[in-house]
Structure 1
């Protein structure tokens, strides 16, 4: 049983202090606590969030969890922040945590047990299923199921993101071997999964629902519009120019995913719920 791991989270100014506090509580309730927690402060975060972070630092100290702060002077975005945080992590196993989601108390125990099995030594990243909530995790409003076997992941990765980013645990050495996270707004994790598979590494998911993800009325709407279409085009061109995807897949993705980004917000939200 591997029990030593780093937790990794990025925080920026628009986080909800209440949701952040609840997310921290769910980390402190893990049956296997992190040995260290790397917290990237992506630009100034304001007084209220700072107070929550100070509280978490104190709670970590009480539990002998080393806390490491990486501070960006300005907001650099998730990809840059996670790249910096990854390099600051001391342990081979790293658990990604989001600032507004709730973790099942057994999340890390399940994940670490999975990664440590003899048959899974070639797994670079493992994720889990998620349930979605708005006001309370007792009132679920959706789920996002992702493929379990690597073969399924490899088949679907060129169509849609095969992992729930807020659930993953990965091996640091392998992530660094493909040059880690990149500045790819909206697609930081998806870009990483594609590069891993392109380099011959395996990623997969467990069937358990181990994270309760917070969504609001704008969660899906934020994935549409001209601005997000530009991000989509940048991402698709990047994986195409690196020969990760071929011309037929590139054209299909530009047409299908591009059209999706321009759908009215209500239609876009409905489509995402249908795909989940």
Structure 2
């Protein structure tokens, strides 16, 4: 397959709260691929533990393709991801988190999809969410396949699983790249790409196993999180991506789930209605 020889970069970041063993598993999962990257850009987002620094050095030597970019202080996901993208030498870039596990043929499938759909800018897929071990799956996030369905889905929820995406760097940079928007940097990016006319595609298979826990649902609640999401809905309305009734409905649902609802109930709602 021609796509197997196409070069691409993987963009990652790590910070002080990331687990060293999980980070090692994440890096090895993108290195031991049927179609491996020819570079891994790792942004160290502020100081980390000596254990993590040691693990990074071991992985750098083991893979031989890791480029380390240290930041003096923690700058957050948006700046860390954007830094990695700017430094990446290839036009195709994949995103990877510091504690998830990519399936061994993830990149092979994405490269093939870019060959099949050359006019697409971003390609993602499904995720399986697990607790402690990958066989303890507690949910799956299923997303639409085709561009038209993805953009319709975007009107109510984020249509791409960030940790699965591979994209064309030039298209991402054309809309300003990753920009800071509390907990919504990726959703904001997809919206700007859609408004600019770029296309999306989701492979209808699981590409990444994602670690989750109760804290995940806590992070998806609270006044600050709600206000960030409400502001993003207003951005979509202002740019005529959604109607006023849809805007009011989206904000109301988010207020109920993110502000009025306790964490345990929120976790149940996410598993029941936002996951397979």
In 1: Cα distance, 2:123 partner to 2:31 partner: 21
For 2:159, the equivalent position in structure 1 comes to 162
Question: How far is the alpha carbon of 1:241 from its aligned partner?
Answer: 4.1
For 1:266, the equivalent position in structure 2 comes to 264
Q: 1:244 to 1:182 in 2, by over 3 A?
A: farther
The answer to whether the Cα contact below 8 Å between 1:127 and 1:164 also exists between their aligned partners in 2 is: yes
Q: Does 1:113 align with 2:112?
A: yes
For 2:7, the equivalent position in structure 1 comes to 4
Could you tell me which of 7, 14, 18 is aligned with 2:17?
Answer: 14
Q: Does 1:38 align with 2:41?
A: yes
Could you tell me which of 13, 27, 31 is aligned with 1:28?
Answer: 31
Per the normalisation by structure 2, the TM-score is 0.93
Superimposed CA distance per residue, residues 72-128 of structure 1 (whole angstroms, 9 cap, x where no aligned partner) = 2111110111111111111011111111101111000010111122xx111110101
Greater Cα shift, 248-257 or 34-43? 248-257
Could you tell me which of 147, 163, 185 is aligned with 2:144?
Answer: 147
Per the normalisation by structure 1, the TM-score is 0.93
The answer to whether the Cα contact below 8 Å between 1:31 and 1:105 also exists between their aligned partners in 2 is: yes
In 1: Cα distance, 2:60 partner to 2:246 partner: 46
The answer to whether the Cα contact below 8 Å between 2:155 and 2:241 also exists between their aligned partners in 1 is: no
In 2: Cα distance, 1:13 partner to 1:68 partner: 19
The answer to whether the Cα contact below 8 Å between 1:229 and 1:261 also exists between their aligned partners in 2 is: yes
In 1: Cα distance, 2:103 partner to 2:203 partner: 14
For 1:79, the equivalent position in structure 2 comes to 78
CA RMSD, 1 decimal: 1.4
Superimposed CA distance per residue, residues 196-220 of structure 1 (whole angstroms, 9 cap, x where no aligned partner) = 1111111120011111111012111
Question: How far is the alpha carbon of 1:55 from its aligned partner?
Answer: 1.3
Query: Equivalent residues in 2 for 1:65-214 (5 A)?
Result: 65=65, 67-117=66-116, 120-214=117-211
Superimposed CA distance per residue, residues 120-151 of structure 1 (whole angstroms, 9 cap, x where no aligned partner) = 11111010111111111122111111111112
Question: How far is the alpha carbon of 1:242 from its aligned partner?
Answer: 4.4
**Unaligned ranges ≥5, structure 1:** none
Q: Which runs of 4+ in 1 moved over 6 A?
A: none
Aligned residues: 270
Question: How far is the alpha carbon of 1:243 from its aligned partner?
Answer: 4.5
Superimposed CA distance per residue, residues 253-272 of structure 1 (whole angstroms, 9 cap, x where no aligned partner) = 22121221111101111111
In 1: Cα distance, 2:70 partner to 2:243 partner: 39
**Unaligned ranges ≥5, structure 2:** none
The answer to whether the Cα contact below 8 Å between 1:240 and 1:250 also exists between their aligned partners in 2 is: yes
